[in-house]
Structure 1
Amino acid sequence: MEDRLGALNALYEGRSAAAIIDHAVHEAFPGRIAFVSSFGAESAVLLHLMASVDPSIPVLFLDTNKLFGETVRYRSRLQHQFGLEDVRVIGPRKADLEREDPQGTLSMRDPDECCRLRKGEPLTRALTGFDCWATGRKRHQTDFRKDMDVIEHDGDAYKLNPLAAWTRADIKEYFSAHKLPEHPLVRQGYFSIGCMPCTSKVESENDARAGRWAGQAKTECGIHTPKK
């Protein structure tokens, strides 16, 4: 696995996102790759690139039951506009919610456990049968992400980050060049969009991730942290 990981990183580093996606989809992991999307503030870029390569690639959307209504409607809009053929809505099991978060207040008491229940476990189940999953993470977003490789292995599967080297300016330029629709909450000051209880407005787009779990040391939902 280490040899293959090193070879793929050597191949992908410095290549365009479209070329990385094309190789991963058609050569490295044919029929065994899924794209995971929050349909958040910058998600349209990765989804548009993916659709240009193959719109039938499975897209996994985590509906935590705590999302903004605008995000759910934005998902429908992008799915239709980009012609995404296989968007799979996944989420926590009803029985698990009733047992572990019957009042729906776990996010206030223990956000890490809430993320595990509503995102981590559903995603693990949904990724069964896939060898690789792709994300829209970028190195500039947080200190945790600044040194990430274009492709990693999370202990269970390969994880592809085609936009790893992209800057905020690159994202804006792609949105403009391809006339991509903007998430409706962006103009209201939400530049990084997750679940309603853990997402807040920020004054500057330069501090986009500051709007996630504001006032806490937490910066990741857990699906991207190494498995123990």
Structure 2
Amino acid sequence: MADPRRLDRIDVRPAYGAEDAAAYQARFAGIPAPEMLRTLLTGELHGQIAAVSSFGTESAVLLHMVAQADPATPVVFTDTLKMFAETLAYRDMLVARLGLTDVRVIRPAPALLAKKDPDGIRHGYDPDGCCDLRKVEPLARGLAPFEAWISGRKGFQAGTRRALPRFEVEDGRLKLNPLADWDKVALDAYFADHDLPRHPLEAEGYLSIGCAPCTSKVKPGEDPRAGRWRGFDKVECGIHRPVA
């Protein structure tokens, strides 16, 4: 694997490339997600990587794996100021239950909110702009100190995620998708095996949970993310790019 840290210019942030993602993909092929995370979080990526979590319906699985590997791994949570109260309570409960010791809550910049969404209703007419303001920009700040990050995306969640790899690179930063090939059966089994608590809104039909104004219940036969931004031609918030 090429070493992305061997740079001649000290003022340039170390960057990963596609060859690095491919090398990691080959190296960890067939290795279970918990073992993969343990190896990387306590080894070469220690101190350089953060987990990003929405504390949604399936988040407990990845967070449990991270906590088992290294509970001091930074976890970045973007509080859009439009979250369900149940999500915030679930976050606090999970953090305590799993023993996570470095949870970083990032919020939208007040000056940008005052300028671009003073009435707090942008989600109703420009959901892309709202997500950029309340999710994408804050997360970029939250990830600025890190060279790699962990996502909880799974391939079965939506058509835009079917070809999801375990390792990819975005803007020079290594991105891990440890649960890329997990399905609902595997997730449910992990919840049961480790006695993990469920998000309180899941039982009401919310299978993918984001901001309260843009999240609705999923109907029978729909994919798990169908309840996000219902009525708009939108399936991703902008944090994740569609995978071909």
TM-score (norm 2): 0.90
CA deviation digits over 1:42-100, x for unaligned, max 9? 00000001100000000001100000000000000000000010011001011110110
Name 2:55's counterpart in structure 1.
39
Structure 2 letter corresponding to 1:168? K
Name 1:122's counterpart in structure 2.
138
Cα contact 2:77–2:106 (8 A) shared by 1: yes
Gaps of 5+ in 2: 1-16
Task: Tell me by how many angstroms 1:207 deviates.
Answer: 2.5
Structure 1 letter corresponding to 2:118? P
Q: Give the alignment partner of residue 12 of structure 1, picking from 28, 43, 53.
A: 28
Task: Tell me by how many angstroms 1:129 deviates.
Answer: 1.7
Name 1:57's counterpart in structure 2.
73
Name 1:21's counterpart in structure 2.
37
Structure 1 or 2, whichever has the larger Rg, is 2
CA deviation digits over 1:22-43, x for unaligned, max 9? 1221233121000000000000
Q: Distance in 2 between matches of 1:140 and 1:28?
A: 30
Structure 2 letter corresponding to 1:104? G
Q: Give the alignment partner of residue 190 of structure 1, picking from 188, 198, 206.
A: 206
Name 1:214's counterpart in structure 2.
230
Task: Tell me by how many angstroms 1:14 deviates.
Answer: 2.2
Q: Distance in 1 between matches of 2:223 and 2:160?
A: 15
- Count of equivalent residues: 226
For the residue of structure 2 that corresponds to 1:210, the secondary structure is coil
For the residue of structure 2 that corresponds to 1:35, the secondary structure is strand
Q: Distance in 2 between matches of 1:57 and 1:22?
A: 11
Q: Distance in 1 between matches of 2:95 and 2:222?
A: 28
Task: Tell me by how many angstroms 1:19 deviates.
Answer: 1.4
Q: Give the alignment partner of residue 119 of structure 2, picking from 82, 103, 107.
A: 103
Mark the CA change 1:123 to 1:205 in structure 2 (over 3 Å): closer, same or farther: farther
CA deviation digits over 1:119-163, x for unaligned, max 9? 000011111120101011001111211112101001131110000
Cα contact 1:63–1:90 (8 A) shared by 2: yes
Cα contact 1:191–1:205 (8 A) shared by 2: no
Task: Tell me by how many angstroms 1:206 deviates.
Answer: 5.4
Pairwise CA RMSD: 1.3
For the residue of structure 1 that corresponds to 2:31, the secondary structure is coil
Give the number of the structure whose residues are more often helix, by fraction: 1
Structure 2 letter corresponding to 1:151? F
Cα contact 1:38–1:61 (8 A) shared by 2: yes
For the residue of structure 2 that corresponds to 1:159, the secondary structure is strand
Cα contact 2:79–2:106 (8 A) shared by 1: yes
For the residue of structure 2 that corresponds to 1:211, the secondary structure is coil
Mark the CA change 1:45 to 1:200 in structure 2 (over 3 Å): closer, same or farther: same
User: Are 1:146 and 2:146 an aligned pair?
Assistant: no
Q: Distance in 1 between matches of 2:222 and 2:183?
A: 11
Q: Distance in 2 between matches of 1:116 and 1:200?
A: 20
Structure 1 letter corresponding to 2:37? I
Percent sequence identity over matched residues? 48
TM-score (norm 1): 0.96
